[in-house]
Structures are given as C-alpha cells and as structure tokens.
Structure 1
Amino acid sequence: MEFEDLKRAPHSLEAEQSILGSLIVDYRCMEDLAAILRPEHFYVEKYGRIYSEILEMYMTSAQIDFVTVLNRVVAAGIYEETEAKQLLYDMASAVPSTKNAAAYARIVAEKYNLRRLIGICDEITEACYAQNDEVQNILDMAESKIFEIRDQQSNTAMVELKTALLESFDRVSKIAQDRATYAGLQTSFRDLDRVLSGFGKSDLILLAARPGLGKTSLALNIAQNVGLQGKTVAIFSLEMSNEQLANRLLSSHSGVDNKKFRTGELTANEWVRLGQSSSVLARTHVYLDDTPDMTVAQMKAKLRRLPALDLIIVDYMQLMSSGTRTASRQEAVSEISRSMKMMAKEFNVPVLCLSQLSRASEKREGDKRPLPSDLRESGSIEQDADAIMFLYNDAIYNKETANPNKMELIIAKNRHGPTETVYLAWNNTLTKFSNYKAKKDAVPLPDEAPPV
C-alpha cells in the first residue's frame, strides 16, 4: 500500500495494530470485538485478513496465541514467516492495554464509515457531473446510501429478562389505563380490530387477494379511517397514480360514484358533498407516493422526512425492486419481505403490505379460499409477516350466493392471537368496505358514508 494512499484516507494504523495485538495477548477480547468489528472495516487489507483468520479460530474454539496465529497467517499466504513473526511480535508488544480493545474497534469502525462516506460523495459527484439522471433520483440515491450507513451502525445490546418484564408490565398498565393511546392502531373495522387487537407497532401485516377483489380499496379505507383519527399515514402505490388514489378516497368518503369522477356528470348535491369531503380529507395527514419500481431503501429515505408516522401502506410487494442482483424473483421478493419487516421495526409502526396471489386456489377443486401457500413468489413472506389476511368473495365462484356484497376477510396468520374469518360489506360503486351488518332475510348494505 502506497504511503500517499495511507495519508489521504481516514484510518488509524495504531488502532488496527492494537486490535490484532490485543487478540494475540488475550483472545477473550474477541467477545467484545465480534459485535463491533468486521474484517472489511480494516483499512490495511492484510490486517483485515489476519483478523478474519483469528475470528475463524475463535468461532471454531481453536487455541489462539502468538504461535497459532503466526501459523495461520503464514498458511494463508498473508505474510512470509519472517515478516509475519516480526509484525505480530511488534503488535503484541506495543498494545497499551487489552482492556481498551473495544475502544480501538470503535475507532476502526468509525474510520471505515468515514471512508464509505467519502466513496458515496465521490459517487454523488460523478452522478452530478454526468447529468444522466434526474436531480430527484440523485438526491434519493444519496440519501438512501447515507442512511444505509446509519442503519448498519445500529447495534442493539442484549437486555436482561427482568428489564424486559418491567417494560412489558408497564406497557400493559398503560394500555389498561388509556387503550386509545397505547393499544394497537385501530382500523375502525370492528371485527378486524377485535381479532388483531389493532395493528401492532413494528408488525408486518400482509393483505392478499386475487386481482379485482378490492385489496387496494380496503387498504385505502384503512388509511382513511386511520387518517381521520388524526394519525399520519404514508401510502406507497406502485400500481396506481396519486390522482387515482385521491379519487378513490374522495369517492369513498363522499358517497359519490367513482365513475362520475371520469365523466364530470355530477348533481348539485354531489358537488356539495365532494367539496365537504375534500375539506375533511385535506386536514388529514395522509401522504401519497406513486413512484414506480421503488426499493425499501428509497421508501425509508422518504419516510424519514415526515414529521410523524403511524402507519405505512405498500401496494404492492411484487412490483417493488430489491435494489440488488438476485438469482430469481422469488429470492428478490424474499429479500423485500425481510426488508419490510426490518422497516416496521426501525420506524416502530405497522406496515400494511399488499400482495398478489397465484392461481393455485382457482385450480383447486372444491373450496377456493386462499391459503398462505398461494402467495405469489412467496419465499419467506409467510415467516416474516406477523399477520396474513386474505380477501375472498364466494359470489365469484358461487353465483347462487345470497349475499354478493358480503366479503370474507380470512385472517390466516396472527402471531399475537387466534386466526378467524371476519366479514365486511362491499360497495362496488364507491369502492368501499365497511362494517358488515347482518340483517335477517336481507342483503347486507355497507355502512353509510361518515358525516362530512
């Protein structure tokens, strides 16, 4: 490595050498280092390789001392024996104190992040000079990469059980005293809220259905209901435009036929209702984003700009990009699913993610109700999700169904409680779901539109 290169990039040779020297003197230092330091954090590539060899020895419970490390370094071809012997001896002799190994590791990790920032700045500079992309895309790329460094820096310490128990008891006490504030996020669909106890913070909730059954409409109805509670909702739609989403929300709230938004043939009363609903919805904190082919990293970058956040909705998973090269689409969707769950935990809010179903349920004989295995390109979705819900309308397969407006919401997975099928009323004209009202010998109708 050239001296000029060492002079330019942020690094600490003393800290890197002290880490390796500490491990040679007392291998138990690795207990603290393994949670902080990775081989790629070292600026001197050969030092990183030595650390990797010692880490492997530690993981396999091999004896670690001057002689065994020397043997591994030479066998791996990192240094010749004479040079390795002198280098390792100097490192071990120069260690100020093995008790400070974790502090040395933090120095090395910080220098590594500084070098990454410099690399990102170089990428941003190059993209700006090239002028081959829109400015907003460059800004999103820059923000995403910088926050990626911050995400990887987070390292939660282990918590003793008694501490977790105290926190759990405190939360239950708060829920008992003020359910509205501390319980799960209420969707205003009473049976759904009863089974799930609301959407829990950091939960990944999956809503799936065959095309045309209304999963987007249900997600928008939930967003509207939560927004009207004064909560902040972020909706990422990779399929519909912001204008289409706004039209649906307005139609659902005002009770005006969605088709009339395309023809403009509204009555005087309908114009009044539209104006009143617009005024009400405009006061909510619902944010829309219709950027196509978005990655989770890009979503997180945009979410960080919001002043508050209570619910994230993504429509839908299979249209997202993983942002990395993968061998198959199933692997990509699995990576997206894991990233969505991590996003829910990071922002500590529920994420409602929509998903497509395969045609497997339609090919089955008899009962056509979907199963978790019907999730398209499912991968690890079933494992990552805290709750899985399926929309099903028996009228599609059974023309003699007495209640075509009665939709089943099948809660097929509930990590926090029982599974159950609840019912919703569907109004196709308004693309609206509402609480199901069972009436003897009558077709159930949706609840009336909320007052404006």
Structure 2
Amino acid sequence: MDKQFIDKGKLPPACVEIEDAVIGSMLCFQNSVDEALMIISKPEVFYKDSNKNVFTAIQSLHKVGNPIDLMTVSAELRKLGLSEATGGDWYLMELSGKIASSAHTEYHCRLVLQKYMARQTILFSSQIIALAYDETTDIFELMGRWQKEFDNVVDYISTGRDTMSFPAALQNLKQEVELLTANKEEVKLVGVHTGFRRLNKYTGGYRNQELIIIAARPGMGKTAYVLKCAIENCKIGVGVGFISLEMSMQQLTARAVAIDTNFHLKQLLKTGFEHKEYFSTYTHHQERMKEYPLYIDDSGKTDISDVVIKIKILVRKYDIKIAIIDYLQLMTDRTVKGNREAEISSISRRLKALAKELDIPVIALSQLSRAVETRGSSKRPMLSDLRESGAIEQDADIVQFLYRPEYYKIDIDVDDYDTSMQPLISAGANSEVIFAKYRGGSTNTTLLKWIGDKTKFVDVECEDDMREDVDVYEVKALPCVSPADAFGEPEKSNNGIDF
C-alpha cells in the first residue's frame, strides 16, 4: 500500500478484482492484449504489485512481437527477475482461471485507469498543499506545476480513445460533400462561421480540432477580423469564447457594436452621438446583442496554463464552439526554461492539443516580424515572417495573413489581380486575406473591404455589410405625470387634519 495513503489513514482508490480480470484476460486472449495496451500505457496504473509485474512482462513481450500466453509470460517474469515477487506460475494460473470471456476488457481497463487517476490526483494535490504552506515557495511556479500535473492526469482521459474506422470516415466525408453540394447558391458550412461569405465558400467554415493562426502587422485589423467571426457565430447561436490579453472588455464591446451596427467607433469611444435619436438606435441594438453567446475574458492572465483553464471552463460552463485568443506573442509558458522561441513553440503545441482535446476550432492571433517593413517591393507577408517561431507554421492547420496596401500608402491597381477578383476591387474591396497555409486545400487569396472609421472588415458581396447609414428608431416621449398622480392625494386623519 502506498505510504502517502497510509499516513492519511485512508485506503487508496483501487479495484483489485477488476485489475485481476484485466490481467487474466490478457493472459488468455490476444485481442484483450491489444485493447488493454491501447488504454493502459504503463504498469503504474495497476495498484497491486503482482499485477504491475505481470503487465510489465506482457508489455515487454508485446514490444518485440513475441506471443503472449501463460508460458511466455512466466518465462519473461523469470528473465526480468520478477517471478518470485509476483507469486510464480501459481499466480498466473489463478488469474487465468477466473476468466471465461474477453467481452468486457475495454470497460474493465477504463475502470482501472479511473482509479489510477484518482490516486494520482490525491498524490499531487497533497504535494501541492504541502508546498503551499512553505513560505519559501514561489506561488506562481507552484500554480504552473499544479496545472502541469493536472494536465498530465487529464491526458489519460483521451488515452485509448476510439479510432474512427475508415468506412466510418468515408461515410462522414460523403455527408460533408452532400452538405456542400445540396445548394451551391447557398453557402453550406461544415465548420463554424468564418465571419465572411467568401471565406465560407472557400473553407466551408473553420472546422473542429483546427488551430487557425491569423497573422498581421500591428494595426492591420486582426482583432476586428476575429470579432466579425465571433459576432456572425453569435448571431446563429454559436457560443464563442474570447480571451483578450491586450484590449479591455469596454474596448472590445465598443468594437463589437461598431462591427455589428453602422455606428462609427469614434462615436462610441470619443465624441458621442451627434443626434439624440441615435440613443434609441443604440438601445435597439443593445436589446438585440445582449442575447449573443459571447464570453470575453480580459483578466490579462497570460500564462498558457491559465488560458487553457479558462477555455476549458468556457466549454464546460457555456458550451462554446470556438475559442479566440488575442494574441499569441503576449502569452507565456512558465514551464519552459529557455529562449523565447522554445516558449512560443510550446504554446503553439499546447493550443493545437487543446483544439483536438475539446474538439473545437481555436483561433490565435499572431504578430509578424518587422522583416515585412524592410522589404523594398511588395509588403505582402510570407510564412517566414511569423514572429519568434517556425513551430507556429508547423502546428497550425490554417495560417492566414491580413494585408491592406493602404497601410503602406500603396495604391491598389486592379491590373495586379486576376479577372475573377477585379469586380471585387471595383465594388470597393481593398484588403487581402492570404491563406499561406491550408491543410484542407490549396493556398489562396480573397478580398474584403476595410472601413477604417468603423474599424471593421466587410464582405462586398453582402448588402447588409455594405450599408453605411444608421437606422433611426422612433423616440417615444415619456408621459408627463403630475405630482398628484405620482404620489397620490395626501391622506387625512379621522379628524380632518392632514398628516
């Protein structure tokens, strides 16, 4: 029995009978060996020492492709010097004699794994508590260690996750193609809304488990771009989590209103409204937008462990379907003791792992290096411009660059674009969305319009996006109420004297 549990006077979580069933099944049935090793990866998962030893022998035989049965496992235990401590051949025969079928091996393995996770949680929590009482402990390093240990335990949840069969994958692909083919005139999404009609046509939406990097130089409109994505999803009831490491809740709210209405950002943050009637318009939009499932965290905690926890809480509490992080270079990783490139590499890997674990798209904004500014000719960004780490390019499923020629005082020349894009330029498009990496298809460039005074990108093919006027709703005057009506007639006492 483990000492840490004896000291507490409690029995550790364990199910020895189920452990015996798992080991016995592995000794008798080859399919049980494969199922168990997909779920249980190390002997320490077993609580009983004898079962740890037998599993070690089975794992050793499996690694080199040797057959697994009573005889081979017995020989391997002797070879490893574990036979006597295990109980010899008698113990192996006792285990195998208890098993008649391998039907429930997977279920039994998961029960064993759950008990191991419970023991590990108790163990590292006890250590964390002890360190928290120590005055010399750095609390921030302790929290980082806690998160790392917790993640290690949580990782076991996905261990042995069923792999989709190829026939099932083919059927899923067919359903996606049917969805895309059903009505070519109407954009069909197999992922979440990108925020723009043209991008939806190209991608089918951002898909679950994808890590999407939106990169640009400062001031190019990265936050405005992803806020448009967030708002369009909220309009159709899709929950969005927005982790803001730079802007405050008030700034983001003002930008969201400017993007989703025809108010100018300057009106909302600096000058106020020119006409009092606009307050009724704002109230109308306020009533509409307050129903949006948009959850913004602007606490400013930049460590990747804190960000991961926040997003997991948002998924669990609000069932968000997409997470947005603004932005990657403001994040840190206390667990990495090295240069900044190694730190960013660790952060991008964890974001990709988070997208896969939660089965949602994760969008992270990223800065570009100053190399863009020093180029003499075109200022269009390239993958090599991604700041601080090539790992971002490696981990991302999609890398998009935002490029506005007017940012560099460059005039747009219609002749620079192919014939399919020229009508968009004529309609007012002035910004490029460059797909520099796209695992779901070929690289491509599409065009949007940037409206600077409203700080938003719009789709020139969408009439609602292109509207410039502010709707004015009727302001109803409040009814005039006399003091007598408001407060009632003064009461009189029985003798006629006013109170």
Q: Same fold (TM over 0.5)?
A: yes
The separation in 2 between residues aligned to 1:396 and 1:174, in whole angstroms, is 39
Aligned residue among 82, 96, 99 for 1:97? 99
Q: What's the CA shift string for 1:137-196, capped at 9, x where partnerless?
A: 99xx89x94996387246432333333323333343345457667544344523222222
* Change beyond 3 A, Cα 1:117–1:450: farther
1:119 deviation in Å?
A: 4.1
Checking the alignment, whether the CA contact within 8 Å between 1:296 and 1:322 is kept in structure 2 is no
Counterpart in the other structure of 1:440 = none
* Change beyond 3 A, Cα 1:436–1:376: same
5+ residue gaps, structure 1 = 438-444
1:450 deviation in Å?
A: 7.8
Q: What's the CA shift string for 1:288-320, capped at 9, x where partnerless?
A: 1113213323311222100x4343222112333
Checking the alignment, whether the CA contact within 8 Å between 1:434 and 1:447 is kept in structure 2 is no
Checking the alignment, whether the CA contact within 8 Å between 2:215 and 2:400 is kept in structure 1 is yes
The separation in 1 between residues aligned to 2:153 and 2:237, in whole angstroms, is 31
Aligned residue among 189, 207, 210 for 1:203? 210
Aligned residue among 352, 355, 370 for 1:341? 352
* Change beyond 3 A, Cα 1:133–1:450: farther
Counterpart in the other structure of 1:170 = 175
The separation in 1 between residues aligned to 2:334 and 2:314, in whole angstroms, is 16
1:417 deviation in Å?
A: 2.8
Checking the alignment, whether the CA contact within 8 Å between 2:212 and 2:399 is kept in structure 1 is yes
* Change beyond 3 A, Cα 1:130–1:153: farther
Q: In the alignment, does 2:330 pair up with 1:304?
A: no
Q: In the alignment, does 2:282 pair up with 1:274?
A: yes
* Change beyond 3 A, Cα 1:22–1:340: same
1:246 deviation in Å?
A: 0.5
Q: How many residues align?
A: 436
Checking the alignment, whether the CA contact within 8 Å between 2:244 and 2:298 is kept in structure 1 is yes
1:341 deviation in Å?
A: 3.3
Aligned residue among 282, 285, 289 for 2:293? 285
RMSD, aligned α-carbons: 4.2
The more displaced of 20-29 and 389-398 is: 20-29
The separation in 1 between residues aligned to 2:126 and 2:214, in whole angstroms, is 41
Checking the alignment, whether the CA contact within 8 Å between 2:24 and 2:99 is kept in structure 1 is no
Checking the alignment, whether the CA contact within 8 Å between 1:313 and 1:353 is kept in structure 2 is yes
Larger of the two Rg values belongs to structure:
2
Aligned residue among 404, 420, 442 for 2:444? 420
1:408 deviation in Å?
A: 1.5
5+ residue gaps, structure 2 = 414-424, 473-499
Checking the alignment, whether the CA contact within 8 Å between 1:254 and 1:273 is kept in structure 2 is no
Q: In the alignment, does 2:118 pair up with 1:114?
A: yes
Q: What's the CA shift string for 1:196-241, capped at 9, x where partnerless?
A: 2333344332210111111011111222233234432221111111
1:448 deviation in Å?
A: 2.4
The separation in 1 between residues aligned to 2:21 and 2:284, in whole angstroms, is 69
1:265 deviation in Å?
A: 4.3
The separation in 2 between residues aligned to 1:129 and 1:97, in whole angstroms, is 48
* Change beyond 3 A, Cα 1:285–1:16: closer
Provide TM-score, normalisation by structure 1.
0.79
Provide TM-score, normalisation by structure 2.
0.72
The more displaced of 244-253 and 358-367 is: 358-367
1:75 deviation in Å?
A: 6.3
Checking the alignment, whether the CA contact within 8 Å between 1:433 and 1:446 is kept in structure 2 is no
The separation in 1 between residues aligned to 2:172 and 2:412, in whole angstroms, is 49
Checking the alignment, whether the CA contact within 8 Å between 1:318 and 1:356 is kept in structure 2 is yes
Q: How does 1:157-306 map to 2 (within 5 A)?
A: 157-177=162-182, 183-269=190-276, 270-291=278-299, 292-293=301-302, 294-306=306-318
Secondary structure in structure 2 of the residue aligned to 1:275: helix
Checking the alignment, whether the CA contact within 8 Å between 2:263 and 2:470 is kept in structure 1 is no
Secondary structure in structure 2 of the residue aligned to 1:55: helix
